[in-house]
Amino acid sequence: MLRAALKSLMGRKVRLLLSTFAIVLGVAFVAGSLVFSDTLSRSFTALFASTVGDVVVRPEGAGDLRNGPSTRTVPASVVEELRPVEGAARVDGNVTELGVFVVDGENKVVGGQGPPGIAGNWSDAPAGHGLEGLSIVIGAEPEGRDQVVLDVSTAERAGYSRGDRVRIVTTGDQAVLNPVLVGLADFAQGGSLNGATYVAFDTPTTQQLFTGGRDVYTDLWVTAEDGVSQEELRDAVAQRLPEGVEAVTGDDVADENASQLLEAITFLTTFLLIFAGISLVVGAFLIVNTFSILVAQRSRELALLRALGASRRQVTRSVMLESLVLGVLGSTIGLGLGVLLAMLIRLVFGRFGLDLSEQPLVFAPRTFVASYAIGIVVTMAAAYLPARRSARIAPVQALRDDISMPETSMHRRFVGGLVLVAAGCGALATGLFTSVDRGGWFVGAGVLAVLLGVASASPVLSRPFLRLSQRLLARVFGAVGNLAGQNSLRNPRRTTATASALMIGLALAATMAIVGDSAKASVDQTIEENFRGDYVVSNLMGQSFSSRIGDQMGALEGVGTVARQRWAFADVDGDPQGVGASQRTSFEGALGLEMVGGSLDDLATGTVLLSDKYADELGLAVGDDLEVTFNNEDLTYPVVGIFADNPILGFPVQTTLATLRDAGFPDRDNLLVLDVAQQSPALQERIEAVVADLPIVTVKDQAAFAEEQRGPIDQLVLMIFALLGLALFIAVLGIVNTLALSIIERTREVGLLRAVGLSRAQLRRMVTFESVVIAVLGAVLGSVLGVFFGIAMMYALRDEGLEVISVPWDQIGAFLAVSVVVGVLAAVLPARRAARLDVLSAIATD
Partner 1 sequence: MTEQKHGRPGAVPAARVRHLTKTYGSGQALVTALDDVSLDLAAGEFTAIMGPSGSGKSTLMHCCAALDTGTSGEVYIGDQELTRLKDKALTRLRRDEIGFVFQSFNLVPTLTARENIVLPLAIARRRPDAGWFESVIATVGLGDRLDHKPNELSGGQQQRVAIARALVSRPRIVFADEPTGNLDSRSGGEVLDLLRSSVDGHAQTIVMVTHDPVAAAYTDRVVFLADGRVVHEVRDPDRESVLEVMATMSAPVAR
Shortest Å, Cβ 487 to partner 1: 6
Residues that bind partner 1 (CB under 8 A): 402, 478-480, 482-483, 486-487, 489-490, 748-749, 752-760, 762, 839-840, 843, 846
Measured from the Cβ of residue 366, the count of other Cβ atoms closer than 10 Å reads 11
Q: Which is nearer to partner 1, 180 or 839 (CB)?
A: 839
Q: Which is nearer to partner 1, 313 or 490 (CB)?
A: 490
464 vs 757 by CB, closer to partner 1? 757
Concatenate the DSSP letters of all residues of 701-736 into one string: EHHHHHHHHHHHHHHHHHHHHHHHHHHHHHHHHHHH
Closest separation in Å from C-beta 481 to partner 1: 10
Q: 3-state secondary structure string, 417-479?
A: HHHHHHHHHHHHHHHHHCCCCCHHHHHHHHHHHHHHHHHHHHHHHCHHHHHHHHHHHHHHHHH
Query: Closest CB to partner 1 among 412 and 490?
Result: 490
**Helix, strand, or coil here: 134?**
strand
Quote the least distance from Cβ 483 to partner 1, whole Å: 7
Judged by CB, which is closer to partner 1: 186, or 749?
A: 749
Coil, strand, or helix at residue 828?
helix
* Pick from 609, 559, 617: nearest CA to 588: 609
CB of 790 to partner 1, least distance (A): 37
Can you state the percent helix, strand and coil of the chain, rounding each to 5?
60, 15, 25
Contacts of 346 (CB under 8 A, 6+ apart): 36, 39, 356, 357, 359, 361
Smallest gap from residue 478 Cβ to partner 1 (A): 5
Q: CB-wise, 308 or 476, nearer to partner 1?
A: 476
Nearest CB to partner 1, comparing residues 88 and 484: 484
- Residue 448 amino acid letter: L
Task: Supply the minimum distance, in Å, between the C-beta of residue 748 and partner 1.
Answer: 7
| Minimum distance of partner 1 from residue 770's CB (angstroms) | 11
Q: What amino acid occupies position 32?
A: G
Least distance from partner 1 to the Cβ atom of residue 472, Å: 16
The C-alpha atoms of residue 564 and residue 577 are separated, in whole angstroms, by 20
Least Cβ distance, residue 517 to partner 1 (angstroms): 42
Q: How, if at all, do strands 147-151 and 180-187 pair?
A: parallel
Residue closer to partner 1, measured from CB, 269 or 482: 482
Residue 745 CB, shortest distance to partner 1, in Å, is 11
At residue 451, what is the residue type?
L
> Quick one: 532 or 748, whose CB is closer to partner 1?
748
CB of residue 486 vs partner 1: minimum separation in angstroms? 3
Residue 23 · residue 327 · CB < 8 Å: yes
25 vs 35: CA distance, rounded Å:
15
Residue pair 783/815 in contact (Cβ under 8 Å)? The answer is yes
Q: Within 13 Å and on the Cβ side, how many CA atoms surround 770?
A: 31
Nearer CB in complex with partner 1: 354/480: 480
CB atoms within 10 A of CB 86: 10
CA distance linking residue 214 with residue 80, whole number of Å:
16
282 or 466: whose CB is closer to partner 1?
Answer: 466
By beta-carbon proximity to partner 1, the closer residue of 755 and 814 is 755
Secondary structure (DSSP) of 67-86: G-S-S--EETHHHHHHTTST
Whole-angstrom Cα distance, residue 22 to residue 285?
10
Residue 225 DSSP one-character state: P
Q: Are β-strands 197-201 and 147-151 bridged in parallel, bridged antiparallel, or unpaired?
A: antiparallel
Q: How far is the CB of 739 from partner 1 (least distance, A)?
A: 16
